[in-house]
Structure 1
Amino acid sequence: MFTLATWNINSVRLRAGLVARLLGDEAPDILCLQECKSPVEKIPVEMFQALGYRWIVARGQKGYNGVAILSRLPIEDAGHRDHARLGHARHVAARLPSGVIIHNVYVPAGGDEPDRTVNVKFGQKLDFLTDMRDAFRADRPQRSILVGDLNIAPREDDVWSHRQMLRVVSHTPVEVAHLADAQEAGGWVDITRQDIPQGPLYSWWSYRARDWDSADRGRRLDHIWATGDIAAAGHASRILRAARGWDQPSDHVPVLASFDLPA
């Protein structure tokens, strides 16, 4: 069995101490980070290696985007895709010795206005998801896990108010439909909702909230999926809500799941 975590860290260099805290407290075998905001060579890998996370694959950019996979299990770089040809570091893949592929994805946030005719960023988000869908249709994944900040809360109980969020980027019907198309094309199963099928689940709370915990206006933007051939092996899903209250936190919290699979 191995345990995997995903976390939009919102600057791995600024919050390296929080990453170390998570690795020490929860000890996931694999940690996928998004929004690292760092060139690969400036990620503080020595700190993580000292905690037993000897392997890393990453793609980085100065000040923006960036994805990394830290592991205490042997992994090898399995490449990346530049979805929609944006030139962004938003995807990296790693292969475990068993052949299981881990995809770490950071979908564009999409800006503030859910209309691609007036908001280029929203169009980029939809194009990114369409390209993901087409890639899965062309080469349907097997024995794969996909995690990351997908920047969409697909279900009504994945947001604090479905009615009030319908025109807010991250929960609009067009985004939800695009995400569903990508999920269906790859045969992906939502492991978190497989484990916890009912009730509100959030992994993000805005920095703008004066008291995020009491207001609890959250969204489930961070996901763990697995292909249908291994989805039954996924279990023990959890969202570390308490991490939102750590000192100088990310606005996202870690999401974890375990898999009864050989590494």
Structure 2
Amino acid sequence: MPFTLATWNINSVRLREDLVLRFLREEGPDVLCLQECKSPVDKIPREQFAALGYGHMVARGQKGYNGVAILSKLPIEEVGAADHAGLGHARHIAGRLGNGVTIHNFYVPAGGDVPDRAVNDKFGQKLDYLRDMRDAFHADRPAKSILVGDLNIAPREDDVWDHKKLLKVVSHTPVEVAALAETQDAGAWVDVTRQDIPDGNLYSWWSYRAADWDAADKGRRLDHVWATPDISGAGHSSRVARHVRGWDKPSDHAPVLATFDL
């Protein structure tokens, strides 16, 4: 039975509750994975989501920072929450649907402003987090799984508005791109978005600093949908809901969607 999945860094689920509700009403994905919820789990407005048919949720939260949640129309069972790099942050939750598909929802550290771990601890934490993700997938090879989230890295040249200008900017540096590639390879993950949209510039994040983000279009593809090879061929209809970035008081990320015939 086909199901549609969306991933969205919401940048505060309580502040942008109305936007989440609007997205659920208008787009109606079967599963919505949120990052940067910035809320304890018991403060997430789950009753309002349930009223729209999203009666199932697995989540990890903390006050004011990080936080990940999976809202689902379909029954989902929590099956893990890793603390990679030992940061004590709510950055991962995994749930399993009734069809046996495991969904991993990640919020990888942003990494600060300086791409040098010697002077920027946050950049070191980001690299350590990716290392631990890689090692976890090596140790326990995933199967029948989907990985989504704000991975905070735009890996391809056409995932950023200007490859050369961003080579020394955190999120597109060669060391980050290499670390993400190692993580992807460790689980043999297939980039479903680029499987469906192989060519051309594609972004999911635009800075708040741009006076007119849409016209400037200085974006990056930081939000990803991956799948293991045993089910990646079932993925299709990938898209970025770019228009959502233009809603009132939006997140700086737009949702990314894909449908799986499983």
Q: TM-score range by the shorter chain?
A: over 0.9
2:88 is paired with a residue of what secondary structure?
Answer: coil
> What are the equivalent positions in structure 2 for 1:1-263 lying under 5 Å apart?
1-261=2-262
C-alpha displacement of 1:79: 1.5
**CA–CA distance in 2 between the matches of 1:45 and 1:128?**
29
C-alpha displacement of 1:240: 0.6
CA shift digits 1:147-196 (9 cap, x unpaired): 00000000000000000000000000000000000000001000000000
**CA–CA distance in 1 between the matches of 2:230 and 2:190?**
10
Instruction: Write the letter of the residue equivalent to 1:182.
Output: T
**CA–CA distance in 1 between the matches of 2:206 and 2:18?**
20
Equivalent residue pairs, number: 261
**CA–CA distance in 1 between the matches of 2:130 and 2:173?**
14
Instruction: Write the letter of the residue equivalent to 2:171.
Output: S
- Give the CA RMSD over aligned residues: 0.3
C-alpha displacement of 1:98: 1.5
**CA–CA distance in 2 between the matches of 1:259 and 1:246?**
27
Instruction: Write the letter of the residue equivalent to 1:109.
Output: A
Instruction: Write the letter of the residue equivalent to 1:3.
Output: T
Instruction: Write the letter of the residue equivalent to 1:233.
Output: A
Instruction: Write the letter of the residue equivalent to 2:77.
Output: E
C-alpha displacement of 1:99: 1.1
Moved over 3 A (4+): none
Provide the TM-score with structure 2 as the length reference. Answer: 0.99
**CA–CA distance in 1 between the matches of 2:41 and 2:35?**
12
CA shift digits 1:187-225 (9 cap, x unpaired): 100000000000000000000011101110000000000
1:229 is paired with a residue of what secondary structure?
Answer: helix
Provide the TM-score with structure 1 as the length reference. Answer: 0.99
**CA–CA distance in 1 between the matches of 2:15 and 2:198?**
35
Instruction: Write the letter of the residue equivalent to 2:68.
Output: V
1:116 is paired with a residue of what secondary structure?
Answer: coil
1:164 is paired with a residue of what secondary structure?
Answer: coil
Q: Which runs of 5+ in 1 are unaligned?
A: none
1:20 is paired with a residue of what secondary structure?
Answer: helix
